[in-house]
């Protein structure tokens, strides 16, 4: 009995010791986490946007939409596969150093200064990515930041001797510009701007600009933002510059995302249930053909720099006429790449950037998911495309949001929730469907409309004649 008691007591003691060790281990991890968060908020550059890897179930739909074709940026594509651009990056460092000597006369600026400053940012930059990249040494990581940062800066910002005009959005170098800005292929710009994985934090560009004598964030942000506006305006996705005051872009893809926000979302920030009853849930959008047979008309909405239509997201439903006004989506070979990567940015930073682009893509992917829908929207000039046929466009729309996580009933994520609800009520209304059927059946053809009108007049005359006949017979 004593031996059994001692054995039981020893087991209890070991269990207590194990629990104490577990508590100490968790306490240490929590302390380390709190210390890390305090460091991020204590004077170091903020971590506004996460640069994560594209998820497998999204990438599997079309892997090529997420990989660079010409220039690799950031650690996700390290070691470099596009070696042809590495020589250009070394030349970009030389360009930046030359510009720094011209813009900061009397100040000795060497490559060591850039390396030391970027080394101080290394931990903050690593924290922007999904993993810490422990397989990359500090030297490799800082070299990558210097190469990529100088490459981007030398092509998107005018590194000038004096007050000369900056390089335009086509990458053409003007006189007096100390830059590697020669005509840059649009495919290279799309690698730098469009890809979610092919990014470095914007504060790295700001730091390099500050060391070069570009007055810190102001000039770097202003000139790159102008470049981005020219790019996205040329693609006809947006017409007006966003408000840059409250938010500094996290990276170049985020800068493009800032241009794509609806001017006046059709859903209020908080949808309160009426009379204590939850509103009817929104399950999905109908196709364009289904809405058309329910009497919904489609109209192209013109974009402008001012007003309420500044980007492709500004969709509006006219409450009286039942007309859905949609800005024209000009589809080219890169449209799907941009939209997919913007959605991936939102999937990983929903609390920071919202889900407006995802809501729009879900709307368009269900509106134009069949060949008949694409044909209808093309006739209404809501869609313009250069693909071989409408079948190809419809398939691209149908595959656009595969793997995307999105709740259409969340008013904070779905800015088109109220529009969808109104369209669903119209679709389920039998009188609206009957009136739409009459319009399609008879009033689209003027001869049928005249025949129907004549038949109605004849019917009325026959009824009047019958009434008079009955009355005359009754009264003799």
Instruction: Tell me which of 152 and 23 has the higher pLDDT.
Output: 152
Q: Which of 158, 150, 139, 2 is nearest to 78 (CA)?
A: 139
Residue 162 confidence (pLDDT): 37
The number of residues making up the chain comes to 476
Residue 181 confidence (pLDDT): 46
Task: Name the token pair of 62.
Answer: 């079309």
Nearest-angstrom CA–CA distance, 365 and 339: 11
When mean pLDDT is compared over 80-89, 92-101, 211-220, 368-377, the highest value belongs to: 368-377
Q: Which of 257, 270, 241 is nearest to 202 (CA)?
A: 257
Q: pLDDT class for 245, splitting at 50, 70, 90?
A: low
- Residues 125-136: what's their mean pLDDT? 81
Scan for tokens 């000369």, then name that residue.
Answer: 164
Residue 268 Cα distances to 411, 414, 423, angstroms: 7, 10, 17
Q: pLDDT class for 42, splitting at 50, 70, 90?
A: very low
Instruction: Tell me which of 358 and 214 has the higher pLDDT.
Output: 358
Sign of CA dihedral 110, 114, 119, 120: positive
When mean pLDDT is compared over 28-32, 74-78, 108-112, 376-380, the highest value belongs to: 376-380
What is the value of pTM for the model shown? Answer: 0.79
Nearest-angstrom CA–CA distance, 1 and 305: 90
- Residues 301-306: what's their mean pLDDT? 89
> Residues of the chain with pLDDT > 70: what percent?
74
> Taking all residues of the chain, what is their mean pLDDT, rounded to a whole number?
79
- The angle at the Cα of 422, spanning 416 to 424, to the nearest 5 degrees, equals 100
Beta bridge partners of 383: 329
> Per-residue pLDDT for 175 more than 50?
no
> Residues of the chain with pLDDT > 90: what percent?
38
Residue 41 confidence (pLDDT): 46
Phi-psi region of 188 (alpha: psi -120 to 50; beta: other; left: phi over 0): alpha
Scan for tokens 């150093």, then name that residue.
Answer: 97
The torsion angle over the Cα atoms of residues 395, 401, 407 and 409, rounded to 10 degrees, is -40
Q: pLDDT class for 424, splitting at 50, 70, 90?
A: confident
Q: Which of 131, 129, 121, 248 is nearest to 198 (CA)?
A: 129
User: Which residues in 367-381 are b (16+ Cβ under 10 Å) and which e?
Assistant: bbbbbebbbbbeebe
Residue 324 Cα distances to 262, 317, 318, angstroms: 15, 5, 6
Nearest-angstrom CA–CA distance, 282 and 268: 15
Instruction: Tell me which of 76 and 10 has the higher pLDDT.
Output: 76
Question: In sequence order, which ranges of 78-216 are alpha helices (DSSP H)?
Answer: 86-103, 111-126, 138-156, 186-194, 202-212
- The angle at the Cα of 293, spanning 426 to 401, to the nearest 5 degrees, equals 80
Residue 15 confidence (pLDDT): 64
Residue 32 confidence (pLDDT): 62
- Residues 319-338: what's their mean pLDDT? 89
Residue 88 confidence (pLDDT): 86
> Per-residue pLDDT for 476 more than 70?
no
Residue 69 confidence (pLDDT): 87
When mean pLDDT is compared over 64-73, 132-141, 458-467, the highest value belongs to: 64-73
> Per-residue pLDDT for 275 more than 50?
no
The 10s digit of each residue's pLDDT in 352-399 is: 999 999 999 999 999 999 999 999 999 999 999 988 899 999 999 999
Tell me which DSSP letter residue 440 carries: I
């Amino acid at each position: 009995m004593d031996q059994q008691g001692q054995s039981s007591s020893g087991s209890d003691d070991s269990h207590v010791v194990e629990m104490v060790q577990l508590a100490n281990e968790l306490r240490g991890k929590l302390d380390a986490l709190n210390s890390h968060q305090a460091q991020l908020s204590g004077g170091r550059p903020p971590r506004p946007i996460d640069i994560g890897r594209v998820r497998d179930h999204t990438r599997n739909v079309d892997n090529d939409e997420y990989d660079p074709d010409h220039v690799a940026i950031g650690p996700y594509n390290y070691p470099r596969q596009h070696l042809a651009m590495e020589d250009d990056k070394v030349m970009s460092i030389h360009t930046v150093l030359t510009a720094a000597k011209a813009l900061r006369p009397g100040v000795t600026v060497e490559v060591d200064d850039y390396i030391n400053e970027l080394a101080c940012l290394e931990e903050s930059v690593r924290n922007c990515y999904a993993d810490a990249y422990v397989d990359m040494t500090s030297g490799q990581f800082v070299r990558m930041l210097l190469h990529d940062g100088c490459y981007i800066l030398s092509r998107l910002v005018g590194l000038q001797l004096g007050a000369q005009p900056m390089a335009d959005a086509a990458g053409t170098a003007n006189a007096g510009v100390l830059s590697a800005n020669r005509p840059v292929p649009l495919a290279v710009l799309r690698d730098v701007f469009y890809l979610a994985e092919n990014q470095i934090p914007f504060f790295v560009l700001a730091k390099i600009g500050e060391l070069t004598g570009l007055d810190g964030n102001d000039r770097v942000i202003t000139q790159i933002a102008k470049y981005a506006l020219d790019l996205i305006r040329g693609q006809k996705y947006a017409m007006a510059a966003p408000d840059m005051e409250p938010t500094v872009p996290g990276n170049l893809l985020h800068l493009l995302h800032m241009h794509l926000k609806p001017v006046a979302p059709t859903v209020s920030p908080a949808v309160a249930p009426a009379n204590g009853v939850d509103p009817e849930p929104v399950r999905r959008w109908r196709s364009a053909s289904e809405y058309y047979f329910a009497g919904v008309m489609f109209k192209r909405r013109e974009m402008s720099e001012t007003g309420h239509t500044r980007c492709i997201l500004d969709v509006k439903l006219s409450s009286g006429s039942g007309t859905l006004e949609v800005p024209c989506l000009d589809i080219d070979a890169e449209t799907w790449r941009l939209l997919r990567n913007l959605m991936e940015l939102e999937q990983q930073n929903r609390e920071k950037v919202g889900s407006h682009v995802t809501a729009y893509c879900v709307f368009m992917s269900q509106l134009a998911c069949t060949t008949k829908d694409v044909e209808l929207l093309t006739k209404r000039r809501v869609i313009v495309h250069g693909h071989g046929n409408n079948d190809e466009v419809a398939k691209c729309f149908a595959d656009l949001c595969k793997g995307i996580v999105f709740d259409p009933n969340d008013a904070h994520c779905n800015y088109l929730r109220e529009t969808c609800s109104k369209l669903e009520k119209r679709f389920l209304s039998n009188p609206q469907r009957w009136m739409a059927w009459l319009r399609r059946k008879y009033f689209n053809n003027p001869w049928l409309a005249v025949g129907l009108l004549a038949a109605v007049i004849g019917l009325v005359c026959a009824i009047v004649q019958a009434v008079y006949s009955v009355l005359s017979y009754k009264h003799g």
